[in-house]
Structure 1
Amino acid sequence: MAATQRVTFQDVVTWTVVDDVGKVIEPVEAYLDFARQSDYSPNTIRAYAKSLALWSTHLASCNRAWDAVQLTDFGSFLQALRAGRVGSRTVALERGRVVSDATVAARVRPVMSFYRFHASMGVPAASFLYEQVHARPGRYLPFLEHVARRQTRRKSQVRVRVRPREVPVLEPVNVKSLIASEASFDPVSGEWIGDLRYRLLWTLLAETGLRIGEALSLQHRDWSMGRGDTASVQIVPRQHPHGLQLKSGARRVFVGSVLDRLYGDYVWWLCDRGADAVIEDWDAAYIFCNAFREPMFAPLRPESVYAHLDRMKRQIPELPSGMTPHWFRHTHATALLLAGTPLHVVSRRLGHRDVQTTTNTYGHVTEDAELAALANWRHIVQGWEGSADV
């Protein structure tokens, strides 16, 4: 049975796949190394390694070499994935599914990419998986499209249908109650009471749609306070002490004046706790840090954020039990789309590498908005009725 193996080299953490005797599976490692050179995040490498470990386990149970697979091997792999029994020689047909279609699709995609990589390297393995297609000629062509048409493209022949799934969003009252419960301003003393650090974090996630890893990776140099212009935060890929990796490249996200002012109050709040006497280089210091335990002012861990949110969910019953920090991102994107923000603008703000990712995740939001607008169809057709009389 194949398994994923964590590998650490000079403080860099990655993943590979080994067989049942602990030997690295070379074809898989070649593909994962290509993914590393393509700047895939460690979490993505880990997910790809898990999928390819399942595929390697399935091939071993079928006594099939990776470069001698048949189309039926992929069919049995899909069936085994859905039943959660990869590695079993026989999988009984069952009406219910243990694993969702979305999870199955996520497991299959790296396998398809693995064979596409080796096909590009000239290895004649599973050539039946891809159909050679030519780009359709047209008047408006992307850059170098004429070159792509000569070389043809590979189109996957194995697809997993995934039912559209609505992303979880927070009600405005949930966001407000959580933020208010973290810290409040006392006008008498002129000070913030509570944990201003988490009030800033939840407000930042709600207003920007940042991933939790992006927020925790922010250093004070990345926050440009508004001085006659719009404040912003700069997302910068850099090595993090806790191994956090950014999924997308550098980008700038603009923020409002209220959030900018809250950040200023937070800096003074840290100084009141002695940060100015401990932190030597404020520019390189992480914004979200330990404020109540040792090591003081060290970067905050994601595990600490999740543990804190679990405590807050017990204190605030109206918060959804399954809520995670990523729900702020879904809520932010949904709110922007419902407000009529163009899809490509939302995609750029979220840091998606491809607008298609935004469409796949939030396409139902724009569709619902368009369908809701058609509810007032009688008002829409009045213009048609008037023009028809002319």
Structure 2
Amino acid sequence: MPYFARLKLKDITGKNYQDALNDLKEQGYSDSTMSGINRTGRMIFRKALELELIKKDPTEFAYLKKDKKTVEQLEEEEIPKYLEKEELALFLRTAREQGLELDYLMFLILSYTGIRVGELVALKWKDVDFKNQTISITKTYYNPNNNTLEYQLVTPKTRKSRRKIIVDEEVINTLMKHKEVQNEVVEKLGDTYHNEDFIFAKIERQFGYPIVIKTVQNRMARLLRIAELNTELTPHSLRHTHTSLLAEAGVSLEQIMDRLGHSDDQITKNVYLHVTQEMKKEASHKFAQLMRSLRYKLHVNKMLTIHSHLT
């Protein structure tokens, strides 16, 4: 707005646009924020071009100045933080034993499916097939202001994001128990309950409305503190955790991508490669140990043979 509000679209030049990007960067905005600003700008001017409101797109040759990062920062970005399997077990046990209402089910599903938190809170009972033990992902939750009453359900970002995930029996059984409890609440509250079939629905004030994403984030932070685990982790970290455990279990990258609803994602690839490379190192180490053991046995047998000849 400060840069273009008083200008007509046709009067905005490539230099105007680039100067605006450079100025915003100098104000200290992060690379990710700048990327979002530029994406929005490009969408606006491309639409203007399509509608023939302008003859040339001023964003065509625009570029973003990037923060210069240290080697340590680059290495940290390459492999996102996630929970090891022992840590995940501790986290879920903490959620089950010390979690608030819905905590265990929320984090069990996130951990066992790798779905996004927006996909989680958008889940409805009709998305669950108890007989075939699947959960269908057909929508995601949108609510930038975290206002419970102003939520929107939108279609997933890509065609690949629409998917059906086979889940563990533990997930199905926990869902069944929750459904029984929720049915009692719905019956008790009657018309005061916003009955739109949401699995993760509020049971205090604004009854029946889906919980906001911020609630999931806050609940996870609380459990991480109690379990004395890395408090920098987020619900999205459980998606990376799921990737790492699938990789460790020998599931192919293609199958993992399909399960996560990715057509292509570099972070998922990085996690997968990191885990599989560690497994290869471990295999190499075990092989070397085996060979050392065999050499030792051969050496002992040889010494015993020599000793028997001498005696």
Structure 1 length normalisation: TM-score? 0.55
Q: Is the 8 A contact 1:69 1:126 kept in 2?
A: no
- Equivalent residue for 1:170, pick from 78, 83, 89: 83
In the TM superposition, what is the alpha-carbon distance from 1:22 to its structure 2 partner? 4.1
Q: Give the whole-Å Cα distance in 2 for the aligned partners of 1:269 and 1:197.
A: 11
Q: Give the whole-Å Cα distance in 1 for the aligned partners of 2:152 and 2:94.
A: 30
Q: Secondary structure at the match of 2:56?
A: coil
The within-5 A match list for 1:263-278 is 263-272=175-184, 274-278=185-189
**Residue equivalent to 2:303:** none
Q: Is the 8 A contact 2:46 2:57 kept in 1?
A: no
Alpha-carbon distance change, 117 to 286 in structure 1, aligned in 2, over 3 angstroms: same
Q: Secondary structure at the match of 1:294?
A: coil
**Residue equivalent to 1:299:** 210
Alpha-carbon distance change, 296 to 109 in structure 1, aligned in 2, over 3 angstroms: closer
Structure 2 length normalisation: TM-score? 0.66
Deviations 1:136-162 (A, max 9, x none): xxxxxxxxxxxxxxxxxxxx9x99998
The within-5 A match list for 1:127-142 is none
Q: Secondary structure at the match of 1:290?
A: coil
Q: Give the whole-Å Cα distance in 1 for the aligned partners of 2:137 and 2:103.
A: 19
- Equivalent residue for 2:138, pick from 236, 239, 249: 236
Q: Please tell me whether Structure 1 or Structure 2 has the larger radius of gyration of its CA atoms.
A: 2
**Residue equivalent to 1:259:** 171
- Equivalent residue for 2:2, pick from 14, 19, 38: 19
Alpha-carbon distance change, 128 to 178 in structure 1, aligned in 2, over 3 angstroms: closer
Alpha-carbon distance change, 257 to 303 in structure 1, aligned in 2, over 3 angstroms: same
- Structure 1: gaps (5+ residues): 1-17, 28-63, 87-97, 130-155, 185-192, 382-390
**Residue equivalent to 2:39:** 110
Q: Give the whole-Å Cα distance in 1 for the aligned partners of 2:210 and 2:44.
A: 40
Q: Is the 8 A contact 2:45 2:58 kept in 1?
A: no
Q: Aligned letter for 1:217?
A: A
The within-5 A match list for 1:279-358 is 284-291=196-203, 293-314=204-225, 316-354=226-264, 358=268
Deviations 1:72-103 (A, max 9, x none): x69x94xx78xx524xxxxxxxxxxx888x64
In the TM superposition, what is the alpha-carbon distance from 1:178 to its structure 2 partner? 3.4
Alpha-carbon distance change, 168 to 24 in structure 1, aligned in 2, over 3 angstroms: farther
Deviations 1:329-362 (A, max 9, x none): 1100111122221111111111113255632564
Q: Give the whole-Å Cα distance in 1 for the aligned partners of 2:237 and 2:60.
A: 41
Alpha-carbon distance change, 294 to 268 in structure 1, aligned in 2, over 3 angstroms: same
Deviations 1:238-278 (A, max 9, x none): 77652364434421111011110111011112234x22344
Q: Give the whole-Å Cα distance in 1 for the aligned partners of 2:8 and 2:283.
A: 54
Q: Is the 8 A contact 2:12 2:58 kept in 1?
A: no
Give the share of equivalent positions with the same residue, in percent.
20
* More RCO (CA 8 Å, sep 6+): 2
Q: Aligned letter for 2:198?
A: Y
**Residue equivalent to 1:225:** 130
Q: Give the whole-Å Cα distance in 2 for the aligned partners of 1:359 and 1:247.
A: 19
In the TM superposition, what is the alpha-carbon distance from 1:175 to its structure 2 partner? 2.9
Q: Secondary structure at the match of 1:288?
A: coil
Q: Secondary structure at the match of 1:268?
A: helix
The within-5 A match list for 1:25-64 is 26=9
Q: Give the whole-Å Cα distance in 2 for the aligned partners of 1:357 and 1:117.
A: 29
Q: Aligned letter for 2:128?
A: W
Q: Is the 8 A contact 1:196 1:269 kept in 2?
A: no
Q: Secondary structure at the match of 1:323?
A: coil
Q: Aligned letter for 1:223?
A: V
- Between the two proteins, the alignment pairs up a number of residues equal to 269
Q: Is the 8 A contact 1:169 1:330 kept in 2?
A: yes
**Residue equivalent to 2:269:** 359
Alpha-carbon distance change, 108 to 377 in structure 1, aligned in 2, over 3 angstroms: farther
Q: Give the whole-Å Cα distance in 2 for the aligned partners of 1:313 and 1:356.
A: 27
**Residue equivalent to 2:93:** 180
Q: Give the whole-Å Cα distance in 1 for the aligned partners of 2:59 and 2:207.
A: 55
Name the structure where helix makes up a greater proportion of residues: 2
Alpha-carbon distance change, 317 to 112 in structure 1, aligned in 2, over 3 angstroms: same
Task: Give the alignment's Cα RMSD to 1 decimal.
Answer: 4.5
- Structure 2: gaps (5+ residues): 143-149, 292-311
Q: Secondary structure at the match of 1:234?
A: strand
Name the structure where strand makes up a greater proportion of residues: 1
